[in-house]
């Protein structure tokens, strides 16, 4: 028999989801069987949909041996900090992702990615104690491509992470702004609304008219800041957040992001490469604006967080437009 007490970072989770994260070696069918026959919450039977509350006592009627076999021993891989911090408090941290770093790990890179670097930083700081957590891990709520730089938000506790995820998912809470340089002289604001389909074999997206069947809606607002010598510095506001959205949308509208080999203009890219040695997209997530928020993040209403352009992109901006 195993007894567990639900902690603050496990509060408000569905029973089945808590067990999936905690008993990682257990199959889904085993977890459902466990809920039906071998678990009580505060002495009573629960269901898959039961929402756990802080302080609830779970009793699992299984042996210590079975319990240990279902758990995965945590291995924390410490990664050296490469990011800068744009904002941090007791609930959230907003960091500046450098060029070439994955937001999450993948099959090829399991240690040195942004999420692991932030976790390592929080462990060193004492804000995250993996030895005390059964299911919670600080995690990013927005993702940037490997070669896109800029602001990424993390929740430092479960409540804040869930709230941030809601705020990023729903409209009206947080506006995300990017800086980019495009080929062509954009003279007025563009409001782009189309559909997109992803081609996984090419890792590219296709932009389609709104009247076509299928696809996902994507909406982008591009505001020119300064135009000069055939290029424009642009502030882009993401209304939706689709794969490659800014690059595909601006490329399809005739103002491709410089350095972008997938959706860009080859002639402009050769010119930029010759001038600055830039061979990847000039795209930087530079500002977050909080319009609304839910508890425990109500204090974020009205805040703006800005990050600096990386030095190589700042040099390009200066040479082209100053």
**Per-residue pLDDT band at 71 (split at 50, 70, 90):** confident
What pLDDT score was predicted for residue 77? 73
With H, G, I as helix, E, B as strand and everything else as coil, classify residue 187.
Answer: coil
pLDDT of residue 79: 87
Q: How many domains does one find in the chain? A: 3
Do 95 and 227 lie in one domain? The reply is no
Distance CA 294, CA 166 (A): 9
Q: Residue 320 belongs to what H/E stretch?
A: helix 311-321
Mean pLDDT of 3-7: 93
In this predicted model, what pLDDT tens digit does every residue of 144-198 receive, in sequence order? 999 999 999 999 999 999 999 999 999 999 999 999 999 999 999 999 999 999 8
Which distant-in-sequence residues (6+ apart) come within 8 Å of 250 by Cβ? 180, 182, 192, 220, 222, 234, 236, 256, 257, 263
Distance, CA of 105 to CA of 304 (rounded, Å): 28
Instruction: Say if 99 falls within a structural domain.
Output: yes
Q: Tell me, yes or no, whether 180 and 159 share the same domain.
A: no
At which of 48, 70, 92 does a domain end? 70
CATH assignment at residue 102: 3.30.2350.10
% of the chain at pLDDT higher than 90: 82
Q: What is the rounded average pLDDT of the residues 71-89? A: 86
Tell me: do 40 and 94 sit in the same domain. Answer: no
Structure confidence at residue 107 as a pLDDT band (50, 70, 90): low
Question: Where among 131, 152, 169 does a domain terminate?
Answer: 169
Which domain range does residue 40 map to?
A: 2-70
CA distance 21 to 17: 6
201 and 315 housed in the same domain: yes
Is the pLDDT at 110 greater than 70, yes or no? no
Q: Is position 226 within any domain?
A: yes
3 state DSSP class of 142: coil
Residues 160 and 215 in one domain: no
Q: Are residues 185 and 305 in the same domain?
A: yes
Evaluate whether residue 77 is within a structural domain: no
Determine, yes or no, domain membership for 148. yes
Strand blocks (E) in the chain: 2-5, 39-41, 57-60, 84-88, 92-97, 139-140, 149-155, 174-183, 190-199, 204-208, 216-228, 231-238, 283-290, 304-306
Instruction: Report the pLDDT value the prediction gives residue 235, as an integer from 0 to 100.
Output: 98
As to burial, measured by CB atoms within 10 angstroms (0-12 exposed, 13-18 middle, 19+ buried), residue 204 is middle
pLDDT band at 141 (very low <50, low <70, confident <90, very high): very high
What's the pLDDT score for residue 53? 94
Is residue 218 located within the same domain as residue 155?
no
* 205 & 301 share domain: yes
């Amino acid at each position: 028999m195993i007894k567990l007490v639900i902690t603050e970072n496990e509060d408000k989770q569905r029973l089945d989801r808590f067990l999936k994260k905690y008993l990682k070696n257990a199959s889904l069918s085993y977890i459902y069987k466990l809920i039906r026959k071998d678990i009580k919450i505060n002495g009573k039977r629960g269901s898959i949909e039961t929402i756990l509350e802080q302080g609830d006592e779970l009793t699992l009627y299984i042996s210590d041996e079975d319990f240990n076999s279902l758990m995965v021993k945590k291995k924390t891989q410490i990664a050296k900090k490469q990011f800068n911090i744009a904002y941090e408090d007791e609930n959230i941290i907003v960091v500046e992702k450098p060029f070439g770093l994955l937001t999450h790990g993948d099959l090829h890179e399991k240690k040195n990615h942004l999420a692991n670097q932030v976790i390592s930083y929080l462990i060193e700081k004492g804000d995250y104690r993996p030895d005390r957590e059964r299911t919670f891990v600080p995690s990013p709520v927005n993702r940037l491509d490997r070669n896109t730089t800029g602001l990424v938000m993390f929740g430092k506790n479960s409540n804040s992470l869930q709230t941030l995820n809601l705020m990023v998912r729903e409209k009206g809470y947080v506006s995300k702004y990017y800086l980019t340089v495009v080929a062509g002289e954009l003279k007025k604001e563009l409001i782009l609304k189309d559909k997109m389909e992803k081609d996984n074999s090419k890792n590219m997206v296709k932009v389609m008219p709104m009247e076509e069947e299928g696809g996902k809606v994507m909406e982008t607002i591009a505001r020119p800041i300064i135009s000069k010598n055939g290029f424009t510095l642009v502030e882009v506001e993401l209304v939706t957040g689709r794969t490659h959205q800014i690059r595909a949308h601006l490329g399809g509208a005739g103002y491709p992001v410089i350095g972008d080999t997938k959706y860009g203009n080859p002639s402009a890219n050769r010119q930029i490469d010759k001038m600055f040695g830039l061979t990847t997209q000039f795209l930087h997530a530079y500002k977050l604006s909080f319009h609304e928020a839910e508890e425990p993040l109500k204090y974020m209403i009205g805040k703006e967080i800005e990050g600096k352009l990386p030095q190589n992109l700042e040099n390009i901006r200066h040479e082209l437009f100053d």
